[in-house]
Each structure stands twice: as C-alpha cells, then as structure tokens.
A and B are shown apart, each in its own frame.
Chain A
Amino acid sequence: MFKNMKIKKISENIWEIPCEGKMNVPGRIFASDNLIKDIEKDKTLEQVKNVACLPGIINASIALPDAHQGYGFSIGGVAGFDIDKGVISPGGVGYDINCSVRLLKTNLTLKDIEKAGKKEVLHSLFRSIPSGVGRGDKLKVSKEVLNEVLINGAQWAVKQGYGNSEDYIHTEENGKLPNANPNDVSERAKARGMPQLGSLGAGNHFLEIQIVDEIFDKEIAKVFGLSSGQICIMVHCGSRGLGHQVASDYIKLMEKEYGWPEYDRELVNAPIKSELGKKYLSAMACAANFAFANKQLITHWIREDLKHYFPEIKIEVVYDICHNIAKFEKHLIDGKEKEVLVMRKGATRSFGPNRKEVPQDYRKYGQPVLIPGSMGTASYVLVGTKKAEEISFGSTAHGAGRVESRTKARKEITAESVKKQLAKKGIELEAGSFKGIVEEAPEAYKDIDEVVRVSNKTGIGKLIAKLRPIAVMKG
C-alpha cells in the first residue's frame, strides 16, 4: 500500500524508515524479508512513521516482527518517551489495557491428561471459567471491593485466598502497578468491569493446555522450571470492558483538552507531566491491575478444577507478561541511565540479566518472555536480552500478528475446516462461538515460527522452549 515510502534494509532482519519531514526519530522495523511483505500490506509503516512524529520520542519508533495495523500505534509497536518533553497516548497502549499472558507449569505429563480424558478435562475447565461476550458473574464484587482490585491487582486476589504470593512474585510488576487511583476511572468503566472480573472474554483470548515440545536452552529452561514432555497451561486475557472504557474515556478527554495531531487523529495524546496525562496513567494502572487480578482468579479456578481429576497436581506460575502497557523504566540513553516512559502495544518486555524488575530466581538469566501462537499453533518461551535493552527498549514480539481481516476470514474459512485441521493435529477444541473459531483460524495470522526466529536472530529475545497445544478453550 505504501510502496512509495522510503524503507531501507540496514542489516539482516532490521529495516529503517529514515527520519524526514515531521519525524523526530527514524522508524525501525524488525522483520525478515517475508514478514516485511506482510507488514507493507496495511498501514503499519505509516503508523510507525506517525509515531516518530510525537513530541519527546527517543531513539526510534519501533515495530516488531508481528506488527500489523492498529489504532494509532501499530500492534507490535514500541516507543520510549522523555518524561519532561514527552507525551502519553492511549493509542500507544491500546483498548485492551494489559492484555497479557500467564504461563502455568504442572507436574503432569500427557499420559495423565489422556488417562483422565482430554475432552473431559477441557470441558470441565470450560464450565468452571466464564468466557464469551459480556459474560462473567462467577464472582460478585461491590464497588468498594472493585476499588481494592484496581489498587492492588493480583495481590488483592491472593489476599482473598485465590492463590499464593509466589504467583504474583512471578508476575510483571508483582501483579500490581503502582499509582493506581480508582477515582480516575469513570463510573461507566467500573460498571462495565464489575460483572466481568474473573472471566476470559472473547476474541483472541484463550486458555490452552500445552505440552513442552522442544527445549532450546536446557540450563535456562531448568531455571524456569520447564522440561520436555511437561504439561503447561497458558492463559491469555485482559482488562475486559473496564480497560476498553478507560481507553475510550481518555481518548475523548484528551481530544477535548489538546485536540489531535494533524498527521493522525488516532494519536491523540497529553504531556506525560500534565494533569490529564497523569490521570490517564493512573486509570491505565487501575485497568492493568484489574487484568492482573482477573488472571489470578482464573489461575485459582484452574487449580480447583483440575484437583478433581488430579488430586496430587501442583500448578505454579512460570511468569505473567503484559502486552498493552506504558511503564516508567530505566534505560541507557546515549550512554547514560535515564528514566523514560515506554509504551508497548502488542509487545512483550524483554529484559536481560540483572534487572531488579525480574524475579530473584530468574534474575541472573533474564526475564521469561511468553509468545503465544495463533489457535492450534506452537507457543514459545524466550528469555529477555541485553541486546533488546540496547535496540528495542527491552521489547520483543507478542504473538503471531494478524495478516487477514476478520471479515475475509469469515468468507474464506469454515468452522468445520478449522476443527478438522485441529483434530488432525490431535488438538481438542471447545469454543463458545463458531465465528470466533473462524476469525482466529491459523490462516488469518503470520507464521509464529518465523516471528520468534527473527526475535532470536536479531537477539531481542532468545529461544528457550517450544510448547505445542493439546487442548484449546476459546470464548
């Protein structure tokens, strides 16, 4: 679509949009020759360029191997901002604030699951974890309790008996983003979120039973507690209607207060240090905490449910990473350590060894990076790197990334063919909606294997283990 745009290959798997016109920094895209062809098809490159025009942006406007067109920022878009001169844009975080992934490890093997019956186990999980549009209602919370959730995130859930402290210790930000003031979240957002606490949702969100299929780095896999043939469970969900409404509310408020950049209405923003900027960051932290608590509750229900089948089961959190978030982090800028605001939209933090943000037991090696594939394809565990800290604000890809529109997928793919395809691979599927199955069909996504290969080759995330799904639950 944007064939006229100047884009330069600067090294194997790294491309640059040179700084020109209103751009404050160049654009930098991590992609193979194949992936860049997909990226060129939609507005991704234009969006990378527009983000480069935002005030206070540092180093480069970054797009990761799974990048595709999003709202304002592309999905798979990353940017760091100077705290004094920079801005915060809800489009740099996304509508599903803290859409995130948690990986649980178990002491089970495939034999155990097969003995209990894969279909039965999946169906049981499907029944005990609310999913689908609007649905929740397993947990009724008052407004006062919801406020506590928004302040304390996963730590609230653990305090109520839903899990243990090891769970949130192995969660980004210890499952609780600081400076979250529930007064900055509208009543409307709270009303949307209240009935949905403890629910998976619909769309690309899922729960998968997976098996560790391949280990690339034995030493680090061992540190993360992963070994070949082990059964794991991956949960992908976010802040539900509450986060969506927070994003909508602040986009409107920022438009009213500051207007929008002439190059893109979707990149509406506020200075980081402005009242409105601070309020958005606080409301965003509340939504992030809602998502952390959400996954903690789901973890608890998974434990309760699987106990019926496997009384001796042990389920521990490997790690839990954020996809859609803005955070204050220290990075080396021109050789000096500096605090900056990093926005990751459909991107995973990828910190290397010896960062204090990484849990003690992993710190020497780096932070686990979890990259889920599309429905029925492999997922990967990587480890963060120093190189990522140097060239991508400590970030790497977050998933396969869409290549095909949902409308097109619905025209071309049938639910039956997807089911058959999965059955052939020995993957059990239970879903609330046929349309959901079709829209999330593997054909609608980029090749996850290639996405992680580029991450590994460019050094922004090092491969540790491959997980293959054996049962999938979708809302």
Chain B
Amino acid sequence: MKFKFLDHTADIKFQAFGDSLEECFENAAFALVNIVCKQKIKTIIKKDIKVEGNDLEELLYNFLEEFLFLIDSKNFILSKFKKTKIYKKNDKYHLHLEVLGDNLKNYQTETGIKAITYNEMWVTSPSEDRSKKFTCQVVVDV
C-alpha cells in the first residue's frame, strides 16, 4: 500500500508508506495528488525541486507545500518522480528531486487543498515502528 486515508471531520488525514524515506515522501505527494485529481497524469513538464527542513516533519511540510504552490501558481500537477534524494548536511535535512507532470487544466479536478498543517504530523522510520516501513501522517486543510 502506498498510502491510506483516515477519518477527520473537517479536513483530510492520510498516512503514506515506503521502504525508504524517499519512497515514503513520494507516496505522501501521491496521496496529495489523489485528493486533487483522480485521473492518470501525463509526464509532459519537468521541474526540479529542492527543499530543506530542520527536521523531517518540516522537510515533509515544505515538500508537500511546494505542490500546492505549483498547482495554484503554475497549474502544474505531478505524475512521477525521478532521482529523489534526501540527505542531512549541516544539521539540516535536504530533499532534491525531479518531478514530471502536466497542466492541471487538462484534467478533471476534485477537491482543492488550502494548506499543509503540522496537525498530527509525524514521520517514523522502521526502527521506531514495527511495520518495517517508513511511515508519515499528514492532515491537510481543505
């Protein structure tokens, strides 16, 4: 399972999983896209993304927020990731990747997302969690 949605009265809560931290973050982004659009997205436009964070939660927050920014400002919706890399340097976490996607106007959209929140957000590694997967949880404001 890449991700699953959980119950929340007003907002949307999901968990994403991966064998690596990179895969876990990618799947969180796919969960986000799944809220906005259910159709298969073509890989027409390429973008480079670089984000950083003081901890993994902040890294995840900044990473996901980048997609809200791309949807609203560039009408860009993601389809695929390439060369995803998360590393720690000078006490900060960094994430670099290439993302492929398309113009959102070519698709049927569903729900708009207002913001990523720190509400109930966590990132766990296999050592902390017996499921042997990297897992993260996010609540987005819709």
Same complex: yes
**B55 nearest CB across to chain A (Å):** 12
Q: Chain A residue with minimal CB distance to B109?
A: A133
Is residue A194 contacting chain B, with contact meaning CB distance below 8 A?
A: yes
Residues of B within 8 A of A41 (CB): 9
Q: How distant is the Cα of A240 from the Cα of B105 in the complex, in angstroms?
A: 17
Q: List 7 A-B contacts (CB under 8 A).
A: A42-B9, A71-B141, A203-B111, A248-B116, A251-B118, A407-B6, A475-B112
Is residue B51 contacting chain A, with contact meaning CB distance below 8 A?
A: no
**A64 nearest CB across to chain B (Å):** 15
Question: A433 near B75 (CB under 8 angstroms)?
Answer: no
A-B pair count, CB < 8 Å, reads 114
List the one stretch of B63-71, B79-87, B89-97 in contact with chain A: B63-71
Q: Which of A399-422 contact B (CB under 8 A)?
A: 402-408
Q: How distant is the Cα of A134 from the Cα of B72 in the complex, in angstroms?
A: 5
**A291 nearest CB across to chain B (Å):** 13
Is residue A188 contacting chain B, with contact meaning CB distance below 8 A?
A: yes
Question: A405 near B75 (CB under 8 angstroms)?
Answer: no
**A135 nearest CB across to chain B (Å):** 7
Question: B69 near A188 (CB under 8 angstroms)?
Answer: yes
**A90 nearest CB across to chain B (Å):** 10
* In the complex with contacts A248-B65, A402-B10, A408-B7, A201-B73 CB distance below 8 A: no
Besides the known contacts A134-B112, A405-B10, 8 further A-B residue pairs in the complex with CB atoms under 8 A apart = A133-B109, A191-B72, A404-B9, A405-B7, A406-B10, A407-B5, A432-B108, A435-B111
Q: How distant is the Cα of A196 from the Cα of B11 in the complex, in angstroms?
A: 22
Summarize B's interface: helix, strand, loop or mixed: mixed
Residues of B within 8 A of A436 (CB): 110-111
Residues of A within 8 A of B72 (CB): 134, 191-193, 195-196, 240-241
Digit string of A93-127 for contact with B (CB within 8 Å is 1, else 0)?
00110000000000000000000000000000000
Report the interface size for chain A: residues with CB under 8 A from the other chain.
Answer: 46
Residues of chain B having any CB pair with chain A under 8 Å: 5-13, 36-38, 65, 68-69, 71-73, 75, 104-105, 108-112, 114-119, 141-142
Q: How distant is the Cα of A403 from the Cα of B118 in the complex, in angstroms?
A: 23
Q: Chain B residue with minimal CB distance to A433?
A: B110
Residues of A within 8 A of B114 (CB): 95-96, 203, 244, 247
* In the complex with contacts A203-B142, A244-B114, A405-B9 CB distance below 8 A: yes
Q: How distant is the Cα of A273 from the Cα of B103 in the complex, in angstroms?
A: 43
Q: How distant is the Cα of A41 from the Cα of B40 in the complex, in angstroms?
A: 37
Residues of A within 8 A of B141 (CB): 71, 95, 244
Select A248's contact among B10, B38, B112, B115, beta carbons within 8 Å: B115
**B75 nearest CB across to chain A (Å):** 5
Residues of A within 8 A of B111 (CB): 133, 202-203, 406, 433, 435-436, 439
Q: How distant is the Cα of A407 from the Cα of B11 in the complex, in angstroms?
A: 9
